[in-house]
Amino acid sequence: MKAHDYAGNEIIITYDLKRCIHAKKCVEGSSAAFDPNRRPWIDPDAVPAAEMAAIIHRCPTGALHYRANDRALTEKPDAANTIQTEPAGPLYVRGQIEIRKETGETVLKDVRVALCRCGASRNKPFCDNSHFAVEFDDPGKAAPTEDPLPDPGDGPLLIIPTIDGPLHAEGSLTILNADGAVIFAGNDSWLCRCGASANKPYCDGSHERVKFLSES
């Protein structure tokens, strides 16, 4: 499905329905600019462009982006690449992100994305809210490590959804639990996306036991 543009006087907002999971950060930011009960539901002139840009920065899935006349508003990746577990929901990734197939083909380059960790999404590796249908139940509160954490450095984060297996994250990376506490910092991690790991958010090989299929 092609993303839809909403053009205003100072800013153009792009909305990708397929990546939206109704986290409602936009509506919470401005109900005048974002009203799901109105058609069109986005009014790009409802608030100043700088305020609109700040609201869109909070969209955790990357379903919303923008192009502003003022180049100073151009969105930049977060200074640090982070992956945070959403309670009973997806992995929220922010930073300089590239998602790439094992075959080497780039799926997406973005600064914000939500990745499925329940195993049921029909839009893998992205979340599509299937965690509600399968009643995925993980609070996402892995304990912070007590060991000293290394400096993950900087640079891009590469995420490879392995075939019938976990997400392989390579590059500068900090992983946060649902409370925002750091549980990992480094340059290489394997993350569960079948929903069955007993060591979430990390993979423990359960995808083999449950016969997880990444492609159907």
Return the pLDDT at 119. 98
Positions of the chain with pLDDT under 70: 1, 216
Return the pLDDT at 1. 60
Return the pLDDT at 8. 98
Return the pLDDT at 124. 97
pTM of the model: 0.96
Please give the domain boundaries of the chain with CATH numbers for all domains: 4-73 (3.30.70.20), 82-209 (no CATH)
On whether the CB atoms of residues 97 and 109 are closer than 8 A, the answer is: yes
Per-residue pLDDT of 159-211, as tens digits, reads: 999 999 999 999 999 999 999 999 999 999 999 999 999 999 999 999 999 99
